[in-house]
Structure 1
Amino acid sequence: MAATMAVQQQAEDTRPRQLVVDTRMEVQYAETVSSASSTASSICDGSEGGHESASSASSVADDDSTCPSPISPTSPTSTVFTIEKENQSTGSPFSSSPDLEAQLNEVDSFSQKRLGFLRYTALNVYRRLFSIAFIGNVIAFIVLAIKGTTTLDLVNASAINLAVCGLCRQPLVINALFLTFGALPRSTPMRLRGLACKVFHFGGVHSGTGVASCLWYIGFAALYTYEFRPSKFALPALVLIWMVLALLLAIIFVAYPTFRIRRHDYFELTHRFANWLILVIFWALLFLLACDQQLPLDTFLINLPAFWILIILTCATIHPWLLLRRVPVVAEPLSDHAIRLHFTHTTIRFGQGISVARHPLRDWHSFASFTDQFDSPDTKFSVLVSKAGDWTKDCIANPPKCLWKRGVPTYGFGYVFRMFERIIVVTTGSGIGPCLSFLEDEKRPAMRVVWQTKSPLKTYGSRTLDLAKKLDEKPVVIDTSVSGRVDMLPIVLKLYKEFDAQAVCVISNMPVTKGLVYALETRGIAAYGPIFDS
Structure 2
Amino acid sequence: MQRFSSCRGVAFEIKPHNDPFAVTTTAPSAADNKPTRAITKRFSRVFSWLQTMNPTFSGKIHPSLNKTVSRATSSHFCDLDFDEEPTDDDEDDAAADDDLEQGPADEPPSTEKETAALAPAASRRSQTPTKPKQPPPSSRLSVILLDQGMLTVYKRLFTVCLTLNIVALVLAATGNFPYARNRAALFSIANIFALTLCRSEAFLRIIFWLAVKILGRSFIPIPIKTAATSFLQSLGGIHSSCGVSSVCWLVYALFLTLQNRADTSSEIIAIASAILSLLGFSCLAAFPLVRHLHHNFFERVHRFTGWASLCLLWAFVTLTITYDSATKSYSNELGSKLIKHQEFWFTIGISILIIIPWLTVRRVPVKISSPSGHASLIKFEGGVKPGILGRISPSPLSEWHAFGIISDGKTEHMMLAGAVGDFTKSLVANPPTHLWVRNVHFSGLPYLTDMYNRVLLVATGSGICVFLSFLLQDCEAEVCVLWVTKGVEQNFGVEIAGMMMRSGDLEGEKTKRKKKKVIVHDTAVLGRPNVSRMSVEAAKDWGAEVVIVTSNPEGSRDVVEACKGAGIPAFGPIWDS
Fold in common (TM above 0.5):
yes
Are 2:562 and 1:519 aligned? yes
- Between the aligned partners of 2:413 and 2:455, the Cα distance in structure 1 is 24
Aligned position for 2:541: 498
Equivalent residue for 2:423?
391
**In structure 2, distance between residues paired with 1:212 and 1:481:** 50
Mapping 1:379-418, distance limit 5 Å: 379-418=411-450
C-alpha deviations, 1:318-354, integer Å up to 9, x for none? Answer: 111111111111112211011111111x432121121
Aligned to 1:320: 357
Matches for 1:265-344 after TM superposition, within 5 Å: 265-294=296-325, 296-344=333-381
Shift of 1:285: 1.6
* Aligned equivalent of 1:429: 461
Q: How many residues align?
A: 451
Task: Quote the residue 1:356 is aligned against.
Answer: 392
Residues 159-174 of structure 1: pairs in structure 2 closer than 5 A: 159-174=189-204
Distance 1:455 1:478 in 2: 10
In structure 1, what is the Cα distance between the partners aligned to 2:192 and 2:246?
A: 6
The corresponding residue for 2:486 is: 454
User: Per-residue displacement from partner, 1:70-105 (whole Å, max 9, x unpaired)?
Assistant: xxxxxxxxxxxxx99998995979xxxxxx9xxxxx
Matched residue type, 2:404? A
What secondary structure is seen at the aligned counterpart in 1 of 2:46? coil
Correspondence 1:50 to 2:66: yes
Shift of 1:182: 1.5
Aligned residue number for residue 156 of structure 2: 128
Matched to 1:418, the amino acid is: D
Deviations 1:243-299 (A, max 9, x none): 111111111111122211211111111111111000001111223323443455345
Runs of 4+ in 1 over 6 A off after TM superposition: 83-89, 471-474
Query: Residues 158 and 90 of structure 1: is their aligned pair in 2 closer, same or farther, counting only changes over 3 Å?
Result: farther
Asked if 2 retains the 8 angstrom alpha-carbon contact of 1:438 and 1:444, the reply is: no
Structure 1 range deviating more: 122-131 or 133-142: 133-142
Cα RMSD of the aligned pairs, angstroms, is 3.5
Corresponding position: 1:476 with 2:519: yes
Q: Is the 8 A contact 1:48 1:457 kept in 2?
A: no
Letter in structure 2 aligned against 1:213: S
Q: Secondary structure at the match of 2:292?
A: helix
Alignment partners' CA distance in 2, 1:276 and 1:513: 35
> In the alignment, which residue of structure 1 is the partner of 2:282?
251
**Contact conserved, 2:282 with 2:302, CA < 8 A, in 1?**
yes
Q: Find the counterpart in structure 2 of residue 200 from structure 1.
A: 233
Q: Alpha carbons of 1:120 and 1:385: their partners in 2 closer, same or farther (altered >3 Å)?
A: closer
**Is 1:214 matched with 2:247?**
yes
Question: Partners in 1 of 2:351 and 2:394 — Cα distance?
Answer: 25
Q: 1: distance between equivalents of 2:504 and 2:41?
A: 25
Structure 1 90/363 Cα, relative in aligned 2: closer, same or farther at 3 Å? farther
- Does 2:530 correspond to 1:487? yes
Shift of 1:445: 2.5
Opposite residue 297 of structure 1, the aligned amino acid is L
The CA deviation at 1:419 is 2.1
Maintained 8 Å contact 2:370/2:377: yes
Distance 1:398 1:292, change over 3 A: same
Q: Secondary structure at the match of 1:348?
A: coil
Distance 1:275 1:243 in 2: 12
CA distance in 1, matches of 2:318, 2:556: 48
The TM-score normalised by the length of structure 2 is 0.71
In structure 2, the residue corresponding to 1:327 is in which secondary structure? strand
**Secondary structure in structure 1 of the residue aligned to 2:245:** helix
Q: Deviations over 1:158-198 (max 9, x none)?
A: 11111010011112211111012112213311111111222
Separation in 2, partners of 1:237, 1:212: 21
Write the distance in 2 (CA, Å) between the matches of 1:467 and 1:490.
26
Q: Deviations over 1:430-461 (max 9, x none)?
A: 10100112135412433332222232221002
Q: TM-score, normalised by structure 1?
A: 0.76
| Alignment equivalent of 2:294, drawn from 259, 263, 276 | 263
Q: 1:438 to 1:34 in 2, by over 3 A?
A: farther
Residue identity matched to 1:479: D
2:295 and 2:62 map into 1 onto residues whose CA distance is 37
The question of whether the paired residues in 2 share the 8 Å contact of 1:48 and 1:455 is answered with: no
Q: Which residue of the other structure, out of 13, 35, 38, is the alignment partner of 2:43? A: 35
Q: 1:494 to 1:308 in 2, by over 3 A?
A: same
Q: Secondary structure at the match of 1:366?
A: strand
Q: Is the 8 A contact 1:520 1:526 kept in 2?
A: yes
Report the CA distance between 1:138 and its aligned residue.
3.2
Indicate conservation of the 8 Å contact 1:47/1:53, yes or no: no
CA separation of 1:400/1:484 partners in 2, compared to 1, >3 Å: closer, same or farther?
farther
Q: What code does the residue aligned with 2:288 have?
A: P
Give a deviation string over 1:501-531, Cα, whole Å, max 9, x none.
Answer: 2111100112211232123224321101121
Shift of 1:132: 2.8
Shift, 1:140, TM fit: 3.0
Partners of 2:526 and 2:45 in 1: CA distance: 12
| Structure 2 CA distance for aligned equivalents of residues 235 and 476 of structure 1 | 67
Matched to 2:244, the amino acid is: V
State how far apart, in whole Å, the 1-side matches of 2:42 and 2:435 are.
42
Letter paired with 1:126: Y
What is aligned with 2:113?
Answer: none
For residues 391-429 of structure 1, give each alpha carbon's deviation from its aligned partner in whole angstroms, at most 9, with x where no partner exists. 111112222211111251212111111122222221111
> Relative to structure 1, is the Cα distance of residues 409 and 329 closer, same or farther in structure 2, using a 3 angstrom cutoff?
same
1:111 is aligned to none
In structure 2, which of residues 383, 400, 407 is the aligned counterpart of residue 347 of structure 1? 383
Task: Give the direction of change, closer, same or farther, for the CA distance of 1:399–1:46 in structure 2 (3 Å limit).
Answer: farther
State how far apart, in whole Å, the 2-side matches of 1:48 and 1:214 are: 61
**Aligned residue for 2:55?**
none
